[in-house]
Copies of this chain bind each other. A is one copy, B any other.
Amino acid sequence: MTAPKSISRSLPSAVGVATVVTSRMSVQTPGTGFTDLTAEAARFLNDVGAKEGAVTLFIRHTSASLTIQENADPAVLDDLTTALSRVAPENAGWTHDTEGPDDMPAHIKTMLTATSLQIPVVNGKLTLGTWQAIYLIEHRSSPHRREIVLQFIGAT
Contact = CB atoms under 8 A, between A and B. Distances in A.
A141 interface: no
Q: How large is the interface on A (under 10, 10 to 19, 20 to 34, 35 or more residues)?
A: 35 or more
A137 B11 CA distance: 24
A76 B88 CA distance: 13
Which of A6, A30, A95, A120 gathers the greatest number of chain B CB atoms within 10 Å? A120
A118 B116 contact: yes
Contacts of A149: 120, 122, 127
29 contacts: A1-B74, A1-B77, A2-B30, A4-B39, A6-B30, A7-B26, A9-B25, A9-B26, A10-B25, A11-B23, A13-B22, A14-B22, A14-B48, A17-B20, A20-B153, A53-B153, A56-B120, A58-B119, A62-B70, A69-B110, A76-B96, A78-B95, A79-B94, A79-B95, A79-B104, A79-B108, A80-B111, A82-B94, A116-B117
